[in-house]
Every structure is written in structure tokens, then in C-alpha cells.
Amino acid sequence: MRTADDHRARTTTLAACTFATLAAVVAAGTGFGAGTASADTGVGCLWAGAPYAEGESAVAGGSGFTCGNDGRGGGYWFGTGPTDAASTVSNPGAASNPAGRFSAGARQPGTGYTDYCVGSQLIEGAEDVYQVVSDANGFLYWKAAVPIDQWAFDAGEAPQTTWHSSSSCYDGVLI
């Protein structure tokens, strides 16, 4: 029959072995030892698929953005206000699902991807600037934020035109 003393002896031996193994791993230099503390939480942001570290800045469409933490463990592009600087990031437009390509807070000009219908009337996505938003489950999607005239297109760029027409609308559904 096992006794409390037997359990204590096995537990003490196991703890000593675990500590000795951990000490050997640290001594081997695998990174588990003491290091320099860093304020970087590891949270980063995406812009058109390119990664940016927390604290990095970007300019797009005449506005500044800084990558930060959304408070839920994800990256978020915080607007820092208007600027006259040219874009420092790629701006393909809101042309596909933002998941895996843009972090919440990023803005892009609308495209045919963001077209929608109201009854039989086509509303062109290119009429607005869209911002990536996150729902309560973390699903990312584009949401109209401001009119397109608030996006400063760089030289040689212009709003994308849609390939849809009102005949693409049936009872409020874009087909």
C-alpha cells in the first residue's frame, strides 16, 4: 500500500529531475533563460498582406495610421489624421475579403467587390472608402466609412470602376 511518505518522495524526486532538466535546457542557450524585457507584445498588423510590427506607421489615401493592439489580442490600425505625404503602403482597394490581408482599422477605396443592390438599383462600392471592422467573433469585413472624396489618390491612381450594372440586381441581391 502506498503511503503519503511514498507520494512525497516520488513528487520530490520528480520535481528535482524536472528542475535539473530545465536547468540543462537553459544552460544550452535555447532562449528559456534570462533575457531582455521588451514592450513588444508580438501583436502586429497586416496591410495588403504585408506584416507591420506594433508601433509602425503607414500612410494611405492621405491619412496616417499606426499599428497597435485592439485590446483583444489582435492588431488594429489606428488613424493618426490627415497628411500630405504620399502613400507608403500598397492600396489594392477593398477588392476581396480582408481576412489574412488587412487588419481591422485599415481603409481602402471601394471596388466592384463592395458593390451592392437596393431593390433593382446598383450602389457602386467605388463611391466610398471602406474600413476593415471586426464583429464580436473576430470575423473581419469591409464597412463603408467615408465618401470616396475623402481618399487622396496618389498620382496615376483613380477610383476603380465597377463591372456590374443595375441589371445585375434582382430584388436587392447582386447576381
Phi/psi at 102 (5° precision): -135, 145
How do the pLDDT tens digits run along the chain, 175 residues long? Answer: 444 454 444 434 334 433 333 333 333 343 333 333 334 456 899 999 999 999 999 999 999 999 999 999 899 999 999 999 999 999 999 999 999 999 999 999 999 999 999 999 999 999 999 999 999 999 999 999 999 999 999 998 988 888 898 899 999 999 9
- What was the pLDDT predicted at 147? 97
**Alpha helical stretches, state H, the chain:** 4-27
Q: Which three cell numbers stand for residue 61?
A: 489615401
pLDDT of residue 123: 94
Residue 41: per-residue pLDDT: 53
Question: Where does residue 87 rank: exposed (0-12), middle (13-18), buried (19+ CB within 10 A)?
Answer: middle
Describe the chain by its helix, strand, coil percentages, rounded to 5. Answer: 20, 35, 45
Give the pairing type, strands 75-82 and 121-123. unpaired
Q: What pLDDT does 161 receive?
A: 86
Q: What is the pLDDT of residue 8?
A: 45
